Amino acid sequence: MDPRLALAVMAGKASAFLIRRLGRGGGTAAPGVIASMIDPAVLDKLARQVDGGCVVVAGTNGKTTTSRMLAGILTQSGRRVIHNRSGSNLVRGITAAFAEQSALTGRPRGDVAVIESDEAAFPEVVRRTRPRLVLLLNLFRDQLDRYGELDTIATRWGETLRALPAEATVVVNADDPALATLTEGLTATRRTFGMTDGRYQLEDLPHAADAAVCRRCGAPLRYERLFLSHLGDYTCTACGYQRPALDVAARDVQLCGLEGLTLTLHTADGPIAVRAGVPGLYNAYNALAAAAAALTLGVRPEAVTEGLERFRSAFGRIERVTYRGRKLVIVLVKNPVGFNEVLRMLEMGGAAPTLILINDLDADGRDVSWLWDVDAERLLDVPVPLYTGGIRGDDMALRLKYAGIPEERLVPLGDLPDALDTFVDDLPADGTGFILPTYTAMLRLRELLAARGVVQAFWEE
Contacts of 406 (CB under 8 A, 6+ apart): none
DSSP 11-63: HHHHHHHHHHHTTS---SSHHHHHHHHH-TTHHHHHHHT-TT-EEEEE-SSSH
Residue spans of beta strands (DSSP E) within 164-242: 169-173, 189-195, 221-228, 231-236
Residue 367 is a catalytic residue? yes
Cα(47)–Cα(43) distance, rounded to whole angstroms? 6
Between helices 150-162 and 122-129, what is the axis angle to 10°? Answer: 10
Cα(142)–Cα(49) distance, rounded to whole angstroms? 34
User: Distances in Å between the alpha carbon of 376 and those of 321, 386, 392, 423?
Assistant: 25, 11, 16, 20
Q: What is the DSSP letter of 371?
A: G
Residue type, 68: R
Cα(347)–Cα(168) distance, rounded to whole angstroms? 41
Residue 54 annotated as binding site: no
Contacts of 91 (CB under 8 A, 6+ apart): 32, 43, 121, 124, 125, 128
DSSP 294-361: HHHTT--HHHHHHHHHH--PPTTEEEEEEETTEEEEEE---SHHHHHHHHHHHHHH----EEEE---S
User: Distances in Å between the alpha carbon of 129 and those of 42, 71, 74, 407?
Assistant: 11, 17, 19, 52
Q: Which of 367, 375, 415, 418 does the annotation list as catalytic?
A: 367
Residue 92 host element (H or E): helix 91-100
Residue 256 annotated as binding site: no
Cα(361)–Cα(359) distance, rounded to whole angstroms? 6
Give the annotated binding-site residues. Answer: 214, 217, 236, 239
Per the annotation, binding residues for Zn(2+) are 214, 217, 236, 239
Q: Which residues are catalytic?
A: 367
